[in-house]
Amino acid sequence: MTSPETIVVTGATGQLGRLVIADLLRIAPRARVSGIVRNVAAAKDLAERGVELRVANYDDYASVAAALAGADKVLLISSSAVERRTVQHRHVIEAAKAAGARFIAYTSILHADSNPMALAVDHRETEGLIRSSGIPFVLLRNGWYTENYTDKIAAAIERGVVLGAAANGRISSAARADYAAAAAVTLASRQAAAGKVYELAGDDAYTLAELAAEIARQSGKSVVYRDLPEADYRTALHAEGLPEVLAGLYAESDVKAANGALHDESGQLSALIGRPTTTMAQSVAAALALVHSTGGNT
């Protein structure tokens, strides 16, 4: 009998990482599923479900190298530290190489090679590092999570307005769980199609005005979309509590989305996961249910 393969997921305590791990435990029951975490206490629930915890900080190469020892397959979930993530990702890729990993998958950004968003720069650099590492790879070029919008649904309903700078740009978002399913399927595959680049996005696209209309329809409240100039939207995001750098990046992303940077009709995500992606209306319904169940304290 062959020994179980070891699949290591970085960002295991993150929202995407947790969903990937849940899917892997279900669809790859013979694999040894391991998660890289910074804080073991925050991952107690994962350990209880049989996930092997490996402690590392992307900033510390030695810790990453130790955590990837014995890894057969690695999922590099892009870091949330946007100011320095290329270096952090390089540490993971070099450690995976040193560990002799035979496969690496990376959560990149939709159309990374041509995406004009400032956020895409790190992803392009990371894709380049992966390609030149020589490790067989799959690039999971994720589009926007619908949760980027629906996480703010309570505020949108309270103010009666969805703010943005994406004008009439069509956004092919999908639920975070859809992207997680794609990553899990890729990792669980016996013969992961090395070198494959997936453009992953929702089956249906919508404008932010359509999003506001759907929130209004389902909530029964008046909610409209207000398109702002980039600088005003950046200020609004910062006032909502986003750090200045992130507010700037997200406002700039919205302007690029106005010109189609988040639009994709390839259907590759639903093809990969074997089911339709979660619709915007379904995500709105899920977010409203959460708001109602928590009395608005999401």
Ligand X SMILES: NC(=O)c1ccc[n+]([C@@H]2O[C@H](COP(=O)([O-])OP(=O)(O)OC[C@H]3O[C@@H](n4cnc5c(N)ncnc54)[C@H](OP(=O)(O)O)[C@@H]3O)[C@@H](O)[C@H]2O)c1
Strand-pair category, 73-76 with 6-9: parallel
Q: For ligand X, what does the binding mask look like between residues 101 and 120, x meaning CB under 6 A? A: ------x-------------
Q: How many residues bind ligand X (CB under 6 A)?
A: 23
Piece of 141-149, 152-160, 247-255, 279-287 that binds ligand X (CB under 6 A): 141-149
Nearer to ligand X, 127 or 216 (CB): 127
Closest CB to ligand X: residue number: 14
Can you list the pairs that 258-261 forms with residues at least 24 positions away whose Cβ atoms lie under 8 Å?
Answer: 258/165, 258/166, 258/167, 258/168, 258/169, 259/116, 259/169, 260/169, 260/170, 261/110, 261/111, 261/115, 261/116, 261/117, 261/169
DSSP 23-80: HHHHH-TTSEEEEEES-GGGGHHHHHTTPEEEE--TT-HHHHHHHTTT-SEEEEPPPS
Nearer to ligand X, 164 or 216 (CB): 164
Nearer to ligand X, 96 or 216 (CB): 96
Q: For ligand X, what does the binding mask look like between residues 165 and 204, x meaning CB under 6 A? A: ----------------------------------------
Nearer to ligand X, 125 or 160 (CB): 125
Residues 6+ apart with CB under 8 A from 287: 147, 150, 151, 153, 298
278 binds ligand X (CB under 6 A): no
Q: For ligand X, what does the binding mask look like between residues 32 and 61, x meaning CB under 6 A? A: ------xx--x--------------xxx--
Q: Strand, coil or helix: what is 122?
A: helix
Q: Would you say 169 and 207 are in contact if contact means Cβ atoms under 8 Å apart?
A: yes
Nearer to ligand X, 60 or 265 (CB): 60
Shortest separation between residue 107's beta carbon and ligand X, angstroms: 6
Q: Would you say 73 and 101 are in contact if contact means Cβ atoms under 8 Å apart?
A: yes
Nearer to ligand X, 201 or 215 (CB): 201
- Residues near ligand X (CB under 6 A) are 11, 13-17, 38-39, 42, 57-59, 77-81, 88, 107, 142, 144-145, 148
